[in-house]
Structure 1
Amino acid sequence: MARLLAPAQSWLFSRGVDLAVFAGAALVSVALVLAAPWLGAVGETPPWAWVLLVVCVDVAHVWSTVFRTYLDGEALRRRPALYVSAPLVAYVAGVLAYLGSAGMFWRLFTYVALFHFVRQQYGWVALYHRKARVSDFERRLDAAAVYAATLGPVVWWHAHLPRAFWWFVENDFLSGLPGWVGTLALTVHAGVLAAWAGFQVARVARGEGLQVGKVLLVLATWVTWFGGIVLAEDDFTFTVMNVVLHGVPYFALVFRYSRGRHAEGGYGPFALLVRAGLPGFLLFLAALAWGEEFLWDRLVWHDRPLLFGEGGFSLDSDLLALVVPLLAVPQATHYLLDAFVWKPSRDPALRARLGWHSGAREGSPRGTMTPSPVAVTRPTD
């Protein structure tokens, strides 16, 4: 019988949390899609699903970054230039793009978002690598598997435009890619994933065990990206598959971090938001997300009167060039900051706040991570 890795290495958060936020998110996504005919959700995403998935998961997870950044005075003092420049750069770049054309802005924003979504899936795998000694070959193979699971369907999508759904707005992806390129992309993606799966089987056969959470993460990534893009027939399916696996694990990560930071006495007057527990944490973020979407609807879209009321403001194109990039700043800032703030090598305190400490020499890229006695609570508590 092959042995598993030590529990601390097999799971990123804990067995229960990893199963819930990675495997569970994928299973819930599939269940919602299968139940769509009974939920009245075939075709366009209905209002209840839009509130639950887009507002309370997708937009709310964007705002959760504030617990890692702007609500933490210590973080602001450590990297003031980063936290000031990120929203400014996002806004200026957005205005310049929108002045070119609205289509240019949304196309740029779409590809930045796509890059972020793909990189986040690899980021989870990289965090798993921090918890166990893995070879350079395994690191590269894991990376190839994640990129195959995400980019293979995306390239196929580009070769089969238009579809019944878009990322943000109609025609946000570049079109014109021939169909055979999409077929080739899926063929390569299948080969890479088959090689990755074979490697996992070989590990078990050799008695080396598995990093179970990482394996489930890669499988969940493939299920949601292939199912949400290649198999999807409508906007609801794409929305479910696109946002649940992306947003739910991020909530777990930020909440785990915020609990660790709060245990150190962090957040000052904002500590109440952490002491309120997971329900308070999520309600606060949902309120911010609702406020943002209210402004989008009243100032730009005017397409959800049932949720946000009739009317709003009709802005001319010059004013929209200032308002639309401004409303996009929270999301764009989230994309930018995520590339910096979750790297343990740049912030040694991050390990302890996530409930880990290094058992190897400081700075060793393969230091085995074991649970820290400082953080004994779990995000689902």
Structure 2
Amino acid sequence: MNGPWIWGARVDVAVFGGSAALALVLAALAPALSDEGALPLWGWITFVLAVDVAHVHTTFFRTYFDREELRKRRALYIATPLACWAAGACLHATSERLFWRVLAYVAVLHFVRQQAGWVAIYRARAGERSRLGRVLDDATIYASTCFPLLYWHAHLPRAFRWFVEDDFVTLPWLAALVVPAGIVWAALLVAYAARAALVAWRGGPRNPGKHLVVATTAITWFSGIVATNSDFQFTVTNVLVHGIPYMALLWAFARERAREAPTGLVARIVTGGVLAFAAAALALAFAEEALWDRLIWHDKPSIFGGMREAPLLGPSARALVVPLLALPQATHYVLDAVLWRRKDTGPAQARALGFRGAPEPAA
């Protein structure tokens, strides 16, 4: 039996519960921390740069920083960024709005699927085999994410956006679905809680980690999208609950992988501890955002230099450069759907997810 926690009760509660609690506290303090709900510069640095963008670059510890992994899946790691760039360039050349719209929906799918993935991991750890339980778990987590998204689409424009203005499709007829969807969402949460209580009463598998993920997902997605309407509140509830657990997983993986390949780049960075790990991801994030700002946005000269009035790239150049700058995100979305599948779980990944009995690295 692997037990009900991934990294242990204290760490799991801190990672999943702590990130949600921090997000909700910050959201409650939004009137004092932001100007009419706008995301201040310090908030952009703290939440967008240091968490959202940086967590994307921690994927390198699972992929491009690992020579053995690159050799094992060379075709995947070469073809994925090339295909993402080619697809992005075609979309952008057709329409810049179309490019951002497709990227936004792929990102949304990634965010939703990550929460479902955490639930699946906890279910596997607890040894749950009930088909009904799996269906209810999936239905509850998808309702907890998709109902707020439906509400968002039915109430455009909002004070926040995913990437850029108008990256979500405006469909006014979706408003008629909000109330029925809300009833289904509430009913599924009640059914999930009732089944969890029944399983506990019957002495079934304990799974507090799964319940924590479901509860925090439902609360933060509803709070950040439906109950509030500010860029600051959406950002903290969206970014922290998604990015912090992912970075915790990649840190756990990097430590385990360093034991298997002590002379590799991952091991050399991990030797410096969690601060070195975070600093590497933050440095890559800063470099990416500096390129975005100097080449495309020109809106943060106080951080990246340059001028707000700098000339914009022409349409042809933007069609090539924008998809290139978006490659870390696009590649992250695609690879993340592949790397964490159970059939692809190697020893280091299994141990990073807390599965006992995974083979130890050779001495």
Aligned residue identity for 1:154:
L
Question: Is 2:247 the partner of 1:251?
Answer: yes
User: Given the two structures, how large is their TM-score scaled by the length of structure 2?
Assistant: 0.94
Q: What do you get for the CA RMSD once the two structures are aligned?
A: 1.7
The answer to whether the Cα contact below 8 Å between 2:269 and 2:277 also exists between their aligned partners in 1 is yes
How far, CA to CA, are the matches of 1:29 and 1:212 in structure 2? 20
How much does 1:181 deviate?
A: 1.2
Deviations 1:26-45 (A, max 9, x none): 10001111122232354110
What is the total number of aligned residue pairs between the two structures? 357
Aligned partner of 1:163 in structure 2 is: 158
Compute the displacement of 1:299 (Å): 0.7
Q: Which residue of 1 aligns with 2:314?
A: 316
Report 1:1-381 matches (<5 A). 8-40=2-34, 42-134=36-128, 135-178=130-173, 179-266=175-262, 268-311=264-307, 312-354=310-352, 356=354, 369-370=355-356, 374=360
In 2, distance between residues paired with 1:128 and 1:29?
Answer: 22
TM-aligned CA distance change 1:22 to 1:270, over 3 Å: closer
Per-residue deviation, 1:313: 4.9
How far, CA to CA, are the matches of 1:355 and 1:306 in structure 2? 40
Identical-pair percentage:
45
Matched residue SS, 1:256: helix
In structure 2, distance between residues paired with 1:225 and 1:216: 14
- 8 A contact 1:98–1:104 mirrored in 2: yes
Amino acid aligned to 1:321 = A
Alignment partners' CA distance in 2, 1:329 and 1:351: 24
C-alpha spacing 1:257/1:220, structure 2 compared with 1 (3 Å): same
Following superposition, the deviation at residue 180 of structure 1 comes to: 1.7
Distance 2:70 2:251 in 1: 19
Give the stretch that moved more between structures: 70-79 or 54-63: 70-79
Q: Distance in 2 between matches of 1:172 and 1:315?
A: 21
- Larger displacement relative to structure 2 (233-242 or 342-351): 342-351
**Which AA in structure 2 matches 1:324?**
V
Give the letter for the 2:304 counterpart: F
Q: How many angstroms does 1:143 deviate by?
A: 0.9
SS of aligned partner of 2:68: helix
- Tell me, yes or no, if the aligned pair for 1:259 and 1:353 is still in contact at 8 Å: no
State whether residues 45 and 236 of structure 1, in contact with CA within 8 Å, keep that contact through their aligned partners in structure 2: yes
Q: CA deviation at 1:62?
A: 0.3
Contact 1:352 1:374 in 2 (8 A): no
- 1:296–1:104 distance in 2 versus 1, CA, 3 Å: same
Amino acid at match of 1:370: R
Structure 2: how far apart are the matches of 1:15 and 1:142?
Answer: 21
- The amino acid across from 1:95 in the alignment is A
Displacement of 1:334 = 0.2
- Cα distance in 1 for partners of 2:336, 2:283 equals 22
**Secondary structure, aligned partner of 2:22:** helix
Note if contact 2:127-2:205 (Cα within 8 Å) is conserved in structure 1: no
SS class of match (1:11): coil
CA distance in 2: counterparts of 1:301 and 1:183, whole angstroms: 38
Q: Aligned letter for 1:331? A: Q
Structure 1: distance between partners of 2:119 and 2:353 = 17
Deviation at 1:248, TM superposition (A): 0.2
Unaligned runs of 5+ in 1: 1-5, 357-368, 376-381
* Matches of 1:104 and 1:269, distance apart in 2: 38
Query: What are the Cα deviations for residues 82-137 of structure 1, in whole angstroms up to 9, with x where unaligned?
Result: 11111011100100000111100000000000010000111111111221221122
2:119 maps to amino acid: V
